[in-house]
Amino acid sequence: MRAMPPLRKYGSTLAISGAGLLVFWLSSDLAPTAGASVYVCLALASTAIFMGFFIRGPQWRRALGSIGYDATEFLEGIPGLAWIVDAEGRLSKMNTSSRDYLGTVDTSNLHCRQVIHPEDFARTEGPMSQCLENGQEFHSACRLRRHDGTYRWFRVAACPRRDRNGKFIGWHGILLDIDNQKVAEESPRASEHHVRSILDTIPAKIITTDPEGNQDYANTDIDGLKRVERASEIKEFRLQRLIDALPTLVWSARPDGSAEFLNRRWLEYTGLSQEQATDWNWTAVIHPDDRGGLVGYWQSLLSAAAPGEIEARLRRFDGHYRWFLFQVEPVRDDSGTVIHWFGSNTDIDDRKRVEEALRARQHELQQLVDTIPTLVWSVTPEGEPAYINKQLETYYGRKIDHSQPKEGSKLDGALGRLMHPDDVEAVKGKLMQSLKTGEHFAMRYRNRRGDGVYRWVDNRAQPLRDDDGRIVKWYGVIIDIDDEMSAHDAVRATQDKLSRASQLASLAELSASIAHEVNQPLAAVITNSHACLRWLSADPPNLQRARITAERMVRDSLAAADVVSRIRALFKQTASSRTLINLNEVIGEVRQLMFDEIISQGIFVEANLDAGLPPVLADRVQMQQVLVNLVRNGIDAMKSTTDVSRSLKLGSRRHGENAILVEIRDNGEGLAETERVFDPFFTTKQGGMGMGLAISRSILESHDGRLWAESIEPRGTAFSFTLPIETGDAA
Amino acid sequence: MTQDDCIVFIVDDDQRICEALCELLAARGLASVAFNAIADYLAFPRPDLPGCLILDVQLPDVGGLEFQKQTESEQHPPIVFITGHGDIPSSVGAIQRGAVDFLTKPLSETELMKSIQTAIDRDCDARLERGELLTLRRRFSLLTSRERQVLPLVVSGLLNKQAAAELGISEVTLQIHRSKIMQKMQAASLADLVRTAERLQVPVTHTRRAGTISK
């Protein structure tokens, strides 16, 4: 301290003058509208005052003693009240300021008790006598009665005065009017409250710690007001330092939106001075691209008086822009009017970069998912559709409908819309089972494409689980396998066709076998008849041998006749394979089967089928055999038809109440005998066996149906058959 | 046709056909034996008589056509096929392999009898042929080993001188061997001997002009 006496001297003087100025300023009208800076300065000023006194006291005393100024002259120069009080407490001397204040001309016999507020006088008695004893300076504050009778607060500093013998002779004192300060008695508290409210409204967590790392301040709800109140004066400092030290740009604005205060960090970051940034000048450091949006948003917040946040780039002192999160909260008075805006700008540039990188990555993944030639979907653990990729959107021709349906779950709706009605139940069951148990889902079914076409797909899904094993989401892929399935179908159809063709071949074989069965006894009959003739024409005729051969002839003929009845029995045996079939379908199959023959013969086939036919109980294969036989007969009958176009008409319709009638009409050469054609071995065809129609009739009769033929004018034949409708009561 | 010096075998799985055929052949004075399967036919000790086989194409054990292939190398009586429903390829195959005929049931009596007659005639010829050859072989077996060496040289047309030189013997000795051969083989002339040697498949090993045939 000795090394800097001038600083001390002038510093203290300056401090006191500064304090005076501040007191003056505070008492002015500016104070109520002043912002945080004012309060902070006030806090500094008041501290400076105390410091000034502490420093000033002993120096003053020394000056009086050593320089030897005239006391009165000196006292007059002091910007305050200066007194000399005798040992009895009477005011023996005072300066003009004091007289002006007290308004008393006659100051002789004026006791301290008369001007000091009684409460304060009583309070100071003890400390003063104590000071007398130990020779220390007395410091206190008390109220002095002004000439108008009002009391004002004064700061009192006094030291005991002694003569050369050390006898106490009185007090030298100085009093400074601190009433304005006292009016702002709440000032430390109010200021602190203000700062606190800044901190608490800053939408960020703020903690200060002492060097040992113990938390000594936390904003908002971490600790609460109590701690702050406990050492409000110290805190006041800290808060100011805190605001400046916060690793965040903090600011406050006026209700009109102009900047009022910007913390040190803000200024350091932008490289602007407080003056360069106040009012609306701060917008200069906002990135030109963001400025318009930010200002517009800020104004919308101002008019709505609502908190908000926005991201924008803020120019650093070196001209580099970084992304910041601007957050602002309004502060209201008791009536709800916004009196301040407190805001912070948090540097989010690094986060922004990470976000952007993530976004780019996500975009990339998204593109990947959208471009892979597979249909990708996901649902929530509850089965709510969550995502489908672009390919699937295109496939379905629709996006996920995120609106809640009126009834039923969204999944139900989606399943119903997106797949074949026959498959919905099975898929739903399987999917629900998977959702419930977490089992993998894999299924083949028919999906409904956007254009309404049903296509076979292979759908597989797997759950994504979190660390605890809970299912977070289900991810699935759908692969369109319709083409493969069609190929499979084609193979199957070919196989069906082959097996049916072999069934038809077996009919031919059957016919051959029947022919053989009949031919053998016939051959024996003929040979026997030759032998018989020989025996009879011998000389002499061998009647005995002739008789034997004749008997054999009878026997073998009966055997041949028996074959036909055995055919009938043959078809009756297969009655067990009868099912309910749609005859129109069988007609379609037969047309397909005979397609090549029909085409090669240049025949025009006309089908007139009643779509509403009920099913019949019949052996499908036998019905095919009958129809193939009748169609083939028709085709053969038209081989000689050259003058008109060959036409084959297939028809099906109801026949009375309980039967279905199927008709095959050709425009061929026609039949001379429409009943005889059904006899076994009767044929009009070159190389024909004459068994087809006989077998066909047998088959139909075994089904309780009928088969007959009619000649039609001008040419051709109609073969018709009936089959009873399955009424349900038949066995 | 003589009635007792030939026999007709019948193989058909249908007993009624067998009966009828036997009856018809009996009415025509032909002896016949019928079997229902090839195995029965093979088990039967066939008499050494000219005959033929009436064979059904469809048989339960061995098919008629298959059996025909098996008998090709044997001295088997000619076959007449009968079938319920014959097809052209199998009938052509059967005829090429030596079948007499391929008849479809029901059989025409005329055709059947004609085929049987042809078959028996063919069997008679074959049997006669086989008999003559047997006689010649018996005669050939009487020749000494030297005479069997001389025979090929003589029927090859070598001069006695050449043949003698070939064997390293005198021409006179060769002439003695030659006359012995003519005697034993009952050949009336050299030409007769040559024909006999041909039937016995005696190889012609030399020519008069170039000596030994390098074959």
Residue A235, CA distances (Å) to A37, A45, A192, A242 in order: 16, 15, 7, 10
Asked, for residue B174, whether it belongs to a domain, the answer is: yes
Asked, for residue B42, whether it belongs to a domain, the answer is: yes
Q: Are residues B88 and B165 in the same domain?
A: no
Q: Are residues B33 and B54 in the same domain?
A: yes
Q: How far apart are alpha carbons A434 and A428 in whole angstroms?
A: 10
Q: Which comes out higher in pLDDT, residue A247 or A404? A: A247
* Residue ranges making up the domain that contains B59: 7-134
Kindly state the average pLDDT of the residues B8-14. Answer: 91
Q: Are residues B23 and B57 in the same domain?
A: yes
Of A527, A538, A542, the CB nearest to B107: A527
Interface test with B, best of A516, A526, A527 (most B CBs within 10 A): A527
CB contact under 8 A, A516 and B17: no
Kindly state the average pLDDT of the residues A266-271. Answer: 86
Asked, for residue B169, whether it belongs to a domain, the answer is: yes
Q: Per-residue b/e over A279-304, b at no fewer than 16 CB within 10 Å?
A: eeebeebbbeebeeebeebbeebbee
Residues of A in contact with B84 (CB under 8 A): 515-516, 519-520, 523
Q: Are residues B106 and B87 in the same domain?
A: yes
ipTM above 0.95, yes or no: no
CB contact under 8 A, B24 and A531: yes
A61 pLDDT above the threshold of 60: no
What are the tens digits of pLDDT across the range B184-209?
A: 989 888 888 898 888 888 877 777 77
Residues of A in contact with B28 (CB under 8 A): 534
Kindly state the average pLDDT of the residues A263-267. Answer: 84
pLDDT at A665: 92
Confidence of residue A402 (pLDDT cuts 50, 70, 90): low
Residues of A in contact with B14 (CB under 8 A): 520, 524
Q: Are residues B150 and B196 in the same domain?
A: yes
Q: How far apart are alpha carbons A185 and A181 in whole angstroms?
A: 6
CB contact under 8 A, A512 and B85: yes
Q: How do beta strands A471-480 and A454-465 pair?
A: antiparallel
CB contact under 8 A, B106 and A535: no
Strand, coil or helix: A513: helix
Closest chain A residue to B15, measured at CA: A524
Across A65-74, A76-85, A571-580, B114-123, least confident range: A65-74
- Contact call for residues A628 and A590 (beta carbons, < 8 A): yes
Q: Which comes out higher in pLDDT, residue B102 or A185? A: B102
Across A198-207, A284-293, A363-372, B108-117, least confident range: A198-207
Q: Are residues B169 and B95 in the same domain?
A: no
Phi, psi of A669, rounded to the nearest 5 degrees? -70, -20
Asked, for residue B178, whether it belongs to a domain, the answer is: yes
Mean pLDDT taken over chain A: 76
* Residue B96 belongs to domain with CATH number: 3.40.50.2300
Kindly state the average pLDDT of the residues A161-188. Answer: 73
Q: How far apart are alpha carbons A406 and A412 in whole angstroms?
A: 12
Nearest to B17 by CA among B30, B32, B44, B36: B36
Residues of B in contact with A524 (CB under 8 A): 14, 16-17, 19-20
Q: Are residues B49 and B126 in the same domain?
A: yes
Across A126-140, A450-464, A529-543, least confident range: A126-140
Q: Are residues B73 and B56 in the same domain?
A: yes
Cα dihedral value A328, A334, A336, A342, nearest 10: -10
pLDDT at A66: 45
Most confident of A55-69, A314-328, A369-383: A314-328
pLDDT at A213: 60
Asked, for residue B66, whether it belongs to a domain, the answer is: yes
Q: Are residues B107 and B153 in the same domain?
A: no
pLDDT at A471: 86
A3 pLDDT above the threshold of 50: no
pLDDT at A43: 53
Percentage, residues of chain A above pLDDT 90: 5
Percentage, residues of chain B above pLDDT 90: 25
What are the tens digits of pLDDT across the range A655-672?
A: 888 899 999 999 888 888
Of B20, B26, B84, the CB nearest to A552: B20
* Residue B158 belongs to domain with CATH number: 1.10.10.10
Asked, for residue B120, whether it belongs to a domain, the answer is: yes
CB contact under 8 A, B19 and A524: yes
Nearest to A632 by CA among A681, A590, A602, A694: A590
Residues of A in contact with B105 (CB under 8 A): 519-520, 522-523
- Kindly tell me the sign of the dihedral angle through the C-alpha atoms of B162, B166, B171, B175: negative
CB contact under 8 A, B23 and A528: yes
- Which among B105, B134, B163 is the end of a domain? B134
Q: What is the model's pTM? A: 0.37
Of A530, A548, A556, the CB nearest to B16: A556
What are the tens digits of pLDDT across the range A235-249?
A: 666 677 777 777 778
CB contact under 8 A, A531 and B27: yes
CB contact under 8 A, A516 and B23: no
What are the tens digits of pLDDT across the range A117-155?
A: 888 888 877 777 777 777 777 888 888 888 888 888 888
Q: Are residues B188 and B208 in the same domain?
A: yes
Residues of A in contact with B114 (CB under 8 A): none
Phi, psi of B66, rounded to the nearest 5 degrees? -65, -40
A63 pLDDT above the threshold of 50: no
Interface test with B, best of A509, A518, A525, A530 (most B CBs within 10 A): A530
A512 pLDDT above the threshold of 50: yes
CB contact under 8 A, A519 and B105: yes
Confidence of residue A29 (pLDDT cuts 50, 70, 90): very low
Asked, for residue B1, whether it belongs to a domain, the answer is: no
Q: Are residues B58 and B124 in the same domain?
A: yes
Q: CA neighbours within 13 Å on the CB side: how many for A621?
A: 17
Closest chain A residue to B110, measured at CA: A530
How far does the CA of residue B103 sit from the closest CA of chain A (Å)?
12
Q: How do beta strands A249-253 and A215-218 pair?
A: unpaired
Confidence of residue A2 (pLDDT cuts 50, 70, 90): very low
Domain count, chain B: 2
Window B:21-40, CB contacts with A under 8 Å: 21, 23-24, 26-28
pLDDT at A59: 52
CB contact under 8 A, B107 and A545: no
Q: Are residues B154 and B56 in the same domain?
A: no
Interface test with A, best of B12, B23, B58 (most A CBs within 10 A): B23
Of A519, A530, A556, the CB nearest to B84: A519
Confidence of residue A200 (pLDDT cuts 50, 70, 90): low
CB contact under 8 A, B19 and A552: yes
pLDDT at A52: 47
Interface test with A, best of B19, B58, B59 (most A CBs within 10 A): B19
How far does the CA of residue A510 sit from the closest CA of chain B (Å)?
14
A→B contacts (Cβ < 8 Å), by residue, are 512, 515-516, 519-528, 530-531, 534-535, 538, 542, 545, 548-549, 552, 555-556, 559
Percentage, residues of chain A above pLDDT 70: 72
End-to-end alpha carbon distance in chain A: 127
What are the tens digits of pLDDT across the range B58-88?
A: 887 778 888 888 887 777 889 999 987 767 8
Asked, for residue B202, whether it belongs to a domain, the answer is: yes
B111 token code pair: 């055709």
